[in-house]
Amino acid sequence: MTSVVLTVGVGYSGTESGGVPPSGTVTFLFTDIEGSTKRWEADAETMRVDLAAHDDVLRKAVEAEVGWLSEHTGDGVVAAFQAARAAVDAAIAAQRGLGLPVRMGIASGQPRGERSRAAVQLDRPDR
């Protein structure tokens, strides 16, 4: 197992997505465009368009569920939600609106630490 610490509130557009980051038990939605490296190598211009569309669809889906866009990972995003159901609904809406294959994962956890931003430590199996 590998521990991953995610921070809520360092977002690139959190203020667009509900004003304040979630607290208490936080549910994260992770996205990752499948085969993005090969897509960039095969046709960079198409990938630029696809990535912009991905980001737009995810922003709208997260905002519709009053989520917080916490991080952009290059070919995906990390969003945080106060309720697990909101994360699931955002993922479903995004998948319906995307025109390319995107992996999505959801995980919940309690904030740890005494920082001004909430950090959630999640354990994940090593690949």
- How large is the average pLDDT for residues 73-94? 94
Query: For residue 79, what pLDDT is reported?
Result: 92
d(CA 86, CA 88): 5
Neighbours of 123 (CB within 10 A): 10
pLDDT for residue 115 is more than 80: no
41-55, 89-103, 111-125: least confident range: 111-125
Q: How many residues does the structure list for the chain? A: 127
Phi first, then psi, for residue 14 (nearest 5°) are -60, -35
Q: What order of strands is seen across the sheet that includes strand 26-33?
A: 68-72, 77-81, 26-33, 102-109
* 52: containing domain: 2-124
Kindly report the CATH number assigned to the domain that includes residue 75.
3.30.70.1230
E strand or H helix that includes residue 50: helix 44-64
Beta strands in the chain (DSSP E): 2-8, 26-33, 68-72, 77-81, 102-109, 111-112, 118-124
Query: For residue 23, what pLDDT is reported?
Result: 79
Which single residue is written with the structure tokens 């294959």? 101
Of 7-21, 26-40, 108-122, highest mean pLDDT: 26-40
Q: Which has the higher per-residue pLDDT, 105 or 123?
A: 105
Total domains, the chain = 1
When pLDDT is cut at 50, 70 and 90, the band that residue 13 belongs to is very low
Q: What percent of the chain has pLDDT over 70?
A: 72
